[in-house]
Every structure is written in structure tokens, then in C-alpha cells.
Structure 1
Amino acid sequence: MKFVRKWLPILIVAWGAVPVSAWEVPGADGLQVHGFLSQGFTWTSGNRWYGRSEDGSLDFLEAGLNVSYRPTASLMLAAQGLYRRAGRVDPNQLRLDYALADWTFWSRSVGRAGLLLGRVKNPFGLYSETRDVAFTRPTIFLPQSIYFDRTRNLGLASDGVQFYGERYSDWGDWFLRLGLGWPNGVGDKEFERLTLGGDRAGDFDPHLSYIGRLSYEYQGGLVRLAVTGAIVNDRYQPGRDDFFRAGEPRLKPLIFSAQYHGERLSLTGEYALRFLDIHGFGRHLPDTEITGESYYLQGSYRVLPKLEAVLRYDVYFADRDDTSGRRYARLTGRPRHARFARDWTVGLRWDVTPWWMLRAEWHKVDGTGWLAASENDMQGRQRRWHLFALLTSFRF
């Protein structure tokens, strides 16, 4: 395993330098192999983001290799392996990102329908399904109010089945995704720290969960509207001498998305409500219901054919009934800015070649609500801080 972790990123770079035609396998029509590698640098004026970022950190690396094969016109098989290093949140993790069978059982000129079976990416908002590939993200880091990096594995994929249906017409296209399965990432320690306030003796196990997204596109994506809903179920299994009982947190996010994607100007906005129900953990964590609220507004403009600028305002509230965090601070003695975050982001993207991209961005943040507990002590967090990031990314 150590050998794989050491040499996988280097192999990805080497593969990226090989022409795509070198991956064609004689007699294997329909077989495609792709990959990507991203290396980032982060610096923060206070707090930590992906390693010891106060002094500058290179602890942000993503590398993936995916393969797809279409044995028949109606069936496609696809899988992707992912290596990710992101500070203490993802310390040198190598995982199976997705592995699925895509069966299109109905296909006509007016639409199609099918099933996805296996480890499937969750249709969560606008960016979740492709967030691993830097070329598909609007910025180096997605809006943290909705696409949390600290618990990214929880919303990324599920082991189960998804139905998809598409309907095409002259006045727009409709897309429906409905899924049920067992979410990945429930057992991650960052999720445990977020829910229970630290590393505990027990573990979380995923239970059957549900997700759905309905979206509408006009003129091939010029305008896109979507609504996403999910019910995420899991259960805590107490360990030996654990003072928590077998509790069950239930998360029900609801996201409204809108996007205009013109030739040079793109405008995007998403609004989310997170209904969290925590019960059954005992007197050390009383039963509670909390509704979180988030939104962001984002604009990007293609200054030159290969140069794009982006501006975003991103807002996160852990509890919409306590947006200042004062009630939380009074009850717990913890800093109130741990319950909110307001983030101004300015960024640039330069597509050096179709396969190589460079990015830079600056964040001005008020609040620490989406910082990872594994990298930041609660009492030591600074309310107002800056984040600067650079990224170079390759794909093939």
C-alpha cells in the first residue's frame, strides 16, 4: 500500500504525457481510459486548511484513473480509483471512487431511461458528481456552505441503485434522478467529530438512504434549474465504556439551484436548507432538531479564450435560528463564530492547454463554521482570516 501511495501520482503524470491514442486497445471498441492529477498549495493568515497552511502547505493532491467499457449500445461499465491527500481530513487515502453498471432500458429521440447499479455518484446540487476533477469545478474549492470538504465523502457516492429519466423537447429538457443506497463516508472520523464533538469509542454505520434531483435545461444548458432532496440515515454503535448510546442522526438537505451559462458570462446560485434530527444518544447529547441554511452567488467571466475570472459570495449558518451563534456560545462556552461563515472569493483560471490548467484564488472569510475539526482546535480558531490557494491540474 505504501508503494502505491508513493508512486500513483507519479504514474498519473507520466500517463498524462502519453497521447490518448496510446490507450486504444486493439479489438476493444468502446473502451476508454482517462485520468487526472491536481497539486495544490494553500496559505492561511490564521486557522488551518489542508495541512499546516499558516506556513504554506502542499498537502492537497488529487489523482484519479477511470475506465469505461460499453459492451453493448444499452450497457456501460465504469469505475474510478482515487488517491487524495488533504491534510488530516484525507490523509493519503486511496479508495474506489465509483464502480457501476449503466443500463439504458429505454431510448428514443424524445428521451431515455435507465438504471445505475453499484457504487454511484450522488446527484447532489450542480457539482457533486464531478467535484473530484478540478477542470469541472468553478474554483479550486467548491462553495463550502453547500459542498463541504470536511465531510465530502458522505455526500459523494452511495452503494445502491439509481433510476434516471430524460425527456427532450423544443422548449427544454427535463432530467430526473432517484436513488437509494448506503452512503459512503459515514464512518469517517471527521463526521464523528462533527456530530459528537470528538473521537469516540464507537463507530457510525450507514443505513438505507434516499436522494432525488429534478433538473431542467434550456437550449443545451444555457439555463439550468434544479432541486435536490435527500434523506441520509445512519446509526451510532457505542464502544466499550462509551457514554453515548446508540443514537441516530438523520440529515435531510434540500437544495435549489439556478445557473445561466453564456458564451463568456456565467451566473450561478444555490440555496440550501439542512434539516438535522439527532436523537437517541442519551443525556450527554440531548435530542435536538436544527435547521441549517446556506447560499452562494457566483459569477464568472471569460476575459480571454483561455483566461477566466470568478467572483463569489458564500454564506453558511449551522442554525438559521441562531445565525450569530450567540445562543450556541452561551450554552456551550465555545466561540460563536464556529456556527457561521461568510466567504468572499476571487479567482483566476488559465487553460494553458486542453490538458493543463493553472488556477489561483483568494478567500476573505468571516467565521469558522466549515473548518475541519481534525485540523483546528475549537477554542483556537480565528474568526476573521484569509485563504490563498494555487492549483495546477492535468488530465488525459
Structure 2
Amino acid sequence: MNMRASLLLFTLAALPGKALAGNGSWHGYLSQGVTQSINSNFLTDNDSVTGELTELGINGRYEFDQSLAVVGQVVYLDGGNRYEKGSRLDYLFVDWTLPDLGEWQGHVHLGRFKNRHWLYSATRDVPHTRATSVLPQSVYYDGFRDIALGSDGALLQLTRLTEHGLWEINWSYGRSSISDEQTQAFLGTNVQGKAKQDYVHQFSVFWQPPSMNWRIGGSLLESDFRYEPAPMDELIGGTTNIRRVMLSFEYFSKNWELSAEFLKEYQQDSGAYSPDYYNSRIGEGGFVQLRYMFTPEISGLVMQDIYDLNREDRKGNMLEASTGGVIPAYFGYMDTTTVGLRWDIAPNWRLQGEHHWVQGGARIRGLLNPQTQLQSQSHWRMWAVQLMYWF
């Protein structure tokens, strides 16, 4: 961790205990792991075993009165090749509890709010709330971690408890900034311009029966991106439109829990590579995950995750042909089988391990980078062991 990130986290850890006394609270977490990806550069280069699995965070809530509060979190992340290394402000928003809405309770979040539309979208930033260190990439693609975690804008959340169950409705509109490093990961290392998100518009509905032991929901997403080329650039101006439809389900029992999400993603690309370039595809995927609690402290997990970049090209043959063989066919899909084990070794301490067997590379970041294509094979695997502490 660099000196700047260390100083930032130390300062935040030292101040909130005073600043929030009596009117709020603050929490934090520290997590360090050891990891390796073999025959791919999804996590590490050259099959290396590394400690690039570091997560440090401080989050807090300050309440001005019963209806108005400020919530925020700053983190330091080192996740290998999955996303940009360093510190960032994950979210910082005003939480306004709406006045009486009859049988509905409502909140509005203004600022850099958190995505609350998917099962794990609002908890993916905290290591001890995740079932695995690496989430199912079909839905929670780590290359989009910072973009998908939250946006600058507004979110409305409404809940209603009835004799037939609990309803939750979420609506949000905003945008996220895209760094130069992210732009190069998505479009190639030689690009000089900037990728920008114009907006992301989301809506979701969830329902739980009176028993509260299962939950089902659906969400819609639409987002526009554009590329603004530099004066001397290999690319020209271009646009991308993404629409996502997703179904979510989770079930809780005394000793086990089951969760699943399935998505269909429509993407249209225009320009960027040439004035007449146009590409339209429909991606599909999802995961099913089962966790069993052997004891209150020890649990195991199995998960199957699948993703096809284009449902009309599930084996990737059209992808390879359209790029003249530059991108191999197995980058058109990614199927993962995961086994994990968790041990709560003491209060607020957890040791978690997992192993992933993978076919394909559609969710490996930097597909246009020759190094990615050279180092990532059609069959590969990865593992991680992570020690976590939270307070």
C-alpha cells in the first residue's frame, strides 16, 4: 500500500470516533489474502502466487436528526489484475428519510450512492459480507467494480410491509467516472482519449413472504457510454448502449442458503474503430450458489457460474473470425465451478478460502491486450485464501 493511501486511512480511522460521537457511528475492516491464477492473468501474471488481495476500508454515518444523515466509505484495494489498485471514495451521500407516505416508508440518497438493485451489489465492497473473495463474474464483473458499485446522482428506495409480505422498490439515476486505466483496459492499451458514462438508469422490485425465509426480485438497467478521442488517436468517437434484465432469488434455511441470479444483457456499439463500425449482441449468464453451515463457525460453498458474451455465438467462433484470429474463440464465454470454505475463528475474525475451475475468458479484463491473450488459456483455475477482521 502506498504512503498516500496509508495516511488517508489512518486519518479516517483516527477522526470519526471523535467526530461522530453521540450522533453517528463508524466501522472498518482489514483483509489480507494470498492468491494465484494459473494459466490466465485474471488475478496474477505469470502464474505467480502473490499477496495482491488487500482490502482496507473505513465507513461511517453521521445523523443530523431523525430524517437526515450523511453516509460514506473510503477504501484501499489491491485486487491484482481485476481492477485499478489504490484508494478511492466508494460512496458519500445524504440519506433523507421521507415524510409519511401512508403504508410506505421511503429514503432518498443524494450524492455518490450505492447500487441496491442486485442481491450483492450493496455489499460487494465489504469482504466479510461476500460469500467468496471473487464473486460470480457473470453478474459482478470485477472490471466494472467501481462503475457498478454506485453512481453520482440520486436513488429512491420504498418499502412496504403487508400481511402478504415485504415489498421493496428501488429507482436510481446517475453516472460514474471512468479512469484512464479503465479506458485502456476496455479499449486497448494504445488509446489516448477518454471513455465516459453519460448515465445509468436502474429500477428493481423485490418481494419477501411473511416467513421472510426467501426473496425474489427483478431489475432493469440502461446505460450509455461514449468515447472521446484525443487529437492523435487510433480510435474515433464512438458510443455504447447497454440494457440489462435480471432476475434474483435467495432462500434461507437453518443450515443452508441458496441464491441465484440470471441476466440478459443487450449491447450496441457504434463508431470508435471506424466510422461505419456497428456491433449488436445479447449476452446471457447467471449463477447458482449453495452454502451449507456445518457448525455456527464453519460453512462450505459450491457455486456454478456461466456467461456467454453473445448468445448467437456461445462457442466464440464468430468472435475469433471477426477479429481475424486476434481474439481466440474461448474469450466468447466463461464458465466457472467454485468450491469454498469459511471459518469464523473468533469474534470479528474470519478465514476464507476458495478454488475456481474456469473454462473460457470472457470476463478476463483487457481482452484487447496481447499479453492477456498470450497468458490466458481456454482452461484455467484460480484460488484465494483471505484473512479478515472487522470492527
Both structures adopt the same fold (TM-score exceeding 0.5): yes
Superposition deviation, residue 106 in structure 1: 2.8
Q: CA deviation at 1:380?
A: 3.4
- Look up the match of 2:214: 223
Deviations 1:362-389 (A, max 9, x none): 1111111111227952143211112111
- Asked if 1:139 corresponds to 2:143, the answer is no
Give TM-score scaled by structure 2 length.
0.92
| Deviation at residue 190 of structure 1 after TM alignment | 3.4
The letter for the 2-side match of 1:236 is Y
- How many angstroms does 1:79 deviate by? 0.9
How far apart are the structure 2 equivalents of 1:271 and 1:63? 30
**Size of the alignment, in residue pairs?**
387
Give the equivalent residue in structure 2 for 1:51. Answer: 44
TM-fit CA distance, 1:50: 2.8
Deviation at 1:91, TM superposition (A): 4.5
Kindly indicate whether the alpha-carbon contact (under 8 Å) linking 1:51 and 1:86 is maintained by their aligned counterparts in 2: no
What is the match of residue 297 of structure 1? 288
Equivalent in the alignment of 1:386: 381
Contact 2:37/2:44, CA 8 A, preserved across alignment: no
Residue number in structure 1 paired with 2:330: 337
- Find the aligned partners of 2:134 and 2:318 in 1 and give their Cα distance: 30
Corresponding position of 2:199: 208
Alignment partner of 1:258 is 2:249: yes
Q: Is the 8 A contact 2:237 2:271 kept in 1?
A: yes
TM-superposed deviation, 1:71: 1.5
Partner of 2:123: 130
Whether 2:233 is the aligned partner of 1:242: answer yes
Letter in 2 for 1:5: A
Using the alignment, how far apart are the partners of 2:343 and 2:65 within structure 1? 38
Contact 1:9-1:37 within 8 A present in 2 as well:
no
**CA distance, structure 1, for counterparts of residue 271 and residue 16 of structure 2:** 53
Q: Which amino acid aligns with 2:259?
A: T
CA distance in structure 2 between the partners assigned to 1:218 and 1:375 by the alignment: 50
Distance 1:160 1:60 in 2: 30
Distance in 1 of aligned mates of 2:210 and 2:239: 44
CA shift for structure 1 position 105: 1.3
Letter in 2 for 1:168: L
Per-residue displacement from partner, 1:203-257 (whole Å, max 9, x unpaired)? 1122132111111122464111111111111211111222422211111111110
Once residues 26 and 251 of structure 1 are traced to their aligned partners in structure 2, the CA distance between those partners, rounded to angstroms, is 42
Contact 1:5 1:92 in 2 (8 A): no
Partner of 2:182: 190
The amino acid of 1:346's aligned partner reads V
Structure 2 CA distance for aligned equivalents of residues 101 and 174 of structure 1:
23
Cα distance, 1:11 vs structure 2:
8.4
Cα deviation for residue 49 of structure 1 reads 3.3
Q: 1:27 to 1:157 in 2, by over 3 A?
A: closer
Scaled by the length of structure 1, the TM-score of the pair is 0.91
Local SS of the residue matching 1:57: coil
Number of the residue aligned with 1:319: 310
Contact residue 83 and residue 142 of structure 2 kept, 8 A: no
Shift of 1:45: 2.5
Measure how far apart 1:124 and its partner are.
3.6
Question: Is 1:105 paired with 2:98?
Answer: yes
CA–CA separation in structure 2 for the residues paired with 1:327 and 1:347: 35
Deviations 1:7-31 (A, max 9, x none): 567889xx6xx9xxx9765994231
**Partners of 1:192 and 1:213 in 2: CA distance:** 31
**8 Å contact from structure 1 (residues 25, 31) kept in 2:** no
In the TM superposition, 1:253-292 aligns within 5 A as 253-281=244-272, 283=274, 286-292=277-283
- What's the CA shift for 1:322? 0.3
CA distance in 2, matches of 1:378, 1:114: 46
The answer (yes or no) to whether the contact 2:219–2:246 under 8 Å persists in 1 is yes
The CA deviation string for residues 21-76 of structure 1, in whole angstroms up to 9 with x for no partner, is x9765994231010011112112221123333613111121111011011211112
Change (3 A) 1:188 1:217: farther
Q: Distance in 1 between matches of 2:303 and 2:2?
A: 39
**Matched residues in 1 for 2:385 and 2:190: separation?**
32
CA, structure 1 residues 92+380, in 2 after alignment: closer, same or farther (shift >3 Å)? closer
2:5 counterpart residue number: 5
Alpha-carbon shift at residue 394 of structure 1 (Å): 0.9
User: Deviation string for 1:259-294 (max 9, x for gaps)?
Assistant: 101221111111011111111335277111111111
Q: Which position in structure 1 is the counterpart of 2:390? A: 395
- Most deviating of 156-165 and 234-243: 234-243
The residue aligned with 2:162 is 169
Identify the residue that residue 79 of structure 1 maps to in structure 2. Answer: 72
C-alpha RMSD of the superposition: 2.5
Alpha-carbon separation, structure 2, partners of 1:99 and 1:68? 10
How far apart are the structure 2 equivalents of 1:261 and 1:199?
A: 48
Distance 1:255 1:96 in 2: 27
1:33 and 1:361 map into 2 onto residues whose CA distance is: 30
- CA distance in 2: counterparts of 1:285 and 1:380, whole angstroms: 32
Deviation at 1:201, TM superposition (A): 1.3
For 1:27 and 1:54, the matched residues in 2 are separated by 45
